[in-house]
Amino acid sequence: MCGLLGLVCPSENDAATARPAVGEALRCQRHRGPDETDTWADGEIVFGFNRLAIIDVDHSHQPLTWGPPENPTRYTINFNGEIYNYLELRAELAQQHGATFDTEGDTEAIVAAYHHLGPAAVGRLRGMFAFLIWDSEAKVVFGARDPFGIKPLFVSTGPNGVAFASEKKSLLALTGTLGLADELDPVALQHYLVLQYVPEPESLHRNVRRIESGTSFTVSPGGELRTDRYFSPEFRTKPVSGPAQTAALHEEIAEVMRDSVAKHMRADVTVGSFLSGGIDSTAIAALAKEHNPNLITFTTGFEREGYSEVDVAAESAAAIGVKHVVRTVSAQEMMETLPLIVWYLDDPVADPALVPLWFIAREARKHVKVVLSGEGSDELFGGYTIYREPLSLAPFEKMPGALRRLAGKVSKAIPEGTRGKDLLRRGSLPLEERYYGNARLFRDDQLREVLPQYAEGVGHQDVTRPWYDLSRGWDPVSRMQHIDLFTWLRGDILVKADKVTMANSLELRVPFLDSEVFRVSSAIPLDQKITKETTKFALRRALDGIVPSHVLNRRKLGFPVPIRHWLRNDMYDWARGIIADSQTGHLLDKAAVRALLDEHRAGTLDHSRRLWALLVFMIWHGIFVENRIKVDVPEPQYPVYL
């Protein structure tokens, strides 16, 4: 787990001139890899790297050069992530192709696989990754990002070259080198206020984009960036009939999870696990305990009742027999730390859960260098409550079109906040219009009130349409899962997981987001995912006996944050101050934002999530655009090897 930076220049002179700037830009992502920092140049290519040493800690230094016997320096790789099947892959390459290795790590496995298998090598990698490989013989850079988007990779293209980085702020530091100017993207802002994150491939800076999940690419010095999607997830459910087939499915799920956790435990440093009160993280911790009897688990919570899973997590930790560490977070800590967290994020993410996650990551880094976590389970196994919506809206599907449209008109006439209003509104809409992921902040009418430059015709369907087009004919729940893989998961869940853990120089691994786990989960039939009583039905049955009984059928809270209450009390004056000081009047109607805050405080309506999105954006703008908010970014002060 590290931070990479790569620059592909039109000429050798450009590269030589740019190398010092690359070294300086690396400092922006020092937290991603405080163990080692290095730059490397060859002709038109400059690579920079920050290393967090996890596997083969005394070797596998990067950028790493490898090649066949006839040209041992042909390739140089910059790699962020972990390949969990690297031992098997190295053995296969040695046996079938005669590949030799100078290290014991996973980095050489990637570049050797690329040499012997070509671009198809990406499909053989079981892990999380973003990498660049310079082929000095073919004069081309080949790179890729993992199938689910666990590891980030930003790209910026200018007249002076193409640059890639694990952190956007490193590319912003290179805008002058690339011959670019910083420009805010208003379309990305509008998408952010609807979705609570900036969807791939966008960023809030027009000249910085993201390499999408499941995508590989090539670029030559002076040439254009060319991308290719190598992973297109499909939910092709297979029906099961009878107790024997059902039992076999549950056993297959348990075995693939056991195998995934075993491979995710591979490390030369200490591995711990996050633990909430839900089934996902509890299952990961229980399976990890099989490989590390001294496993340490970590959880966070708040003192307010109903917003903490600390007690349930502690009970789970005792049941599976692990040491447990708890970190409680206050409203004051959230307010004081939020600007620093937003700096680490690169782009705003309006998910309040990332704040307590930052605190528990900071606590965990005092004990371990790697943690396992349960992200991805809901998307793969059908865990979100909203996936049951097609069951509740089934009567609307049987209505004539005219009657469904009438239901929509009736919903508009019902006062805001009235029970049943949203059910009528959503029931009147087809799936493609009503579902665009787990976060739904501002509707169009609400956006018009806060965005002076609201763009008609820009909406969530711009983001979801391509993925809906690929899922025609699937059942509605599978289509919703498919949408979430390309929106909510990679835009919110994985961004916050990567950013806040790497901010603390902590590697986070997600065993549910594994290619073999997806192979099994993508074939689960609908009635084994969603029932009228529960979600993730098959997963719950598969984990019976692995997770404690008090967790098995419990609904997950995750890391809930009481911002609804705090914005009416503890955080009200703080929020007013952010709005007053922000220089975003040309982008947001600040009077309308203040009105939302006051209406929320009065208890008329709950605007907490919308307000949080606006406040986070204002802080982001104050840091990255206005340069008004100065963030004191600490130097990493952790043991080099733990």
Q: Which of 1, 2, 41, 341 is catalytic?
A: 2
558 has pLDDT over 60: no
DSSP E strand boundaries for 146-225: 154-158, 161-165, 209-210, 215-219
pLDDT of residue 308: 67
Q: Are residues 192 and 257 in the same domain?
A: no
Q: What is the mean pLDDT of residues 352-367?
A: 94
pLDDT of residue 306: 62
170 has pLDDT over 70: yes
pLDDT of residue 304: 66
Tell me the one-letter amino acid at 157.
T
DSSP conformation class of 491: I
Model confidence over 327-350: pLDDT tens digits? 999 999 999 999 999 999 999 999
Q: Are residues 281 and 371 in the same domain?
A: yes
Q: What is the CATH number of the domain that holds 178?
A: 3.60.20.10
Q: Are residues 22 and 102 in the same domain?
A: yes
Q: In this structure, are residues 278 and 385 in contact, taking their beta carbons and an 8 Å threshold? A: no
Q: Are residues 476 and 490 in the same domain?
A: no
Mean pLDDT, the chain, rounded, equals: 93
Q: Are residues 472 and 355 in the same domain?
A: no
Q: Are residues 40 and 187 in the same domain?
A: yes
Q: In this structure, are residues 640 and 52 in contact, taking their beta carbons and an 8 Å threshold? A: no
The predicted model scores a pTM of 0.95
How many H-runs (helices) and E-runs (strands) does the chain carry?
A: 29, 17
Closest CA to 474 of 428, 510, 524: 524
Give residue 28's pLDDT band: very low, low, confident or very high (50, 70, 90).
very high
Model confidence over 469-527: pLDDT tens digits? 999 999 999 999 999 999 999 999 999 999 999 999 999 999 999 999 999 999 999 99
Q: Are residues 455 and 346 in the same domain?
A: no
Q: Whole domain around residue 572: which residue ranges?
A: 563-624
pLDDT of residue 307: 63
Which of 221-235, 437-451, 585-599 has the least mean pLDDT?
437-451
Q: Are residues 477 and 490 in the same domain?
A: no
CB atoms within 10 A of CB 11: 14
What is the distance between the alpha carbons of residues 104 and 106, in angstroms, rounded to a whole number?
Answer: 7
Q: In this structure, are residues 186 and 447 in contact, taking their beta carbons and an 8 Å threshold? A: no
Of 229, 264, 297, which marks where a domain is finished? 229
pLDDT of residue 236: 87
Q: Are residues 141 and 201 in the same domain?
A: yes
pLDDT of residue 380: 98
Sheet of 36-42, strand order: 36-42, 45-51, 2-8, 161-165, 154-158, 209-210
Q: Cα 568 to chain center, whole Å?
A: 30
DSSP conformation class of 544: B
Q: Are residues 188 and 272 in the same domain?
A: no
Model confidence over 280-319: pLDDT tens digits? 999 999 999 999 999 999 999 887 666 667 888 899 999 9
2 flagged as catalytic: yes
Signed CA dihedral, 400, 404, 405, 409: sign only: positive
641 has pLDDT over 60: no
Tokens of 177: 């080198």
What's the residue count for the chain?
642
Phi and psi at 585, nearest 5°, equal -60, -25
Rg (Cα) of the chain, in Å, rounded? 24
Beta bridge partners of 130: 80, 145
What is the distance between the alpha carbons of residues 598 and 636, in angstroms, rounded to a whole number?
Answer: 40
Which of 139-153, 194-208, 354-368, 387-401 has the least mean pLDDT?
387-401
Total of domains in the chain = 4
Model confidence over 507-519: pLDDT tens digits? 999 999 999 999 9
Give residue 432's pLDDT band: very low, low, confident or very high (50, 70, 90).
very high
Beta bridge partners of 461: none
Q: Quick one: what percent of the chain has pLDDT higher than 70?
A: 97
Q: What is the mean pLDDT of residues 542-560?
A: 81
Of 481, 507, 529, which marks where a domain is finished? 481
Tokens of 308: 């903490």
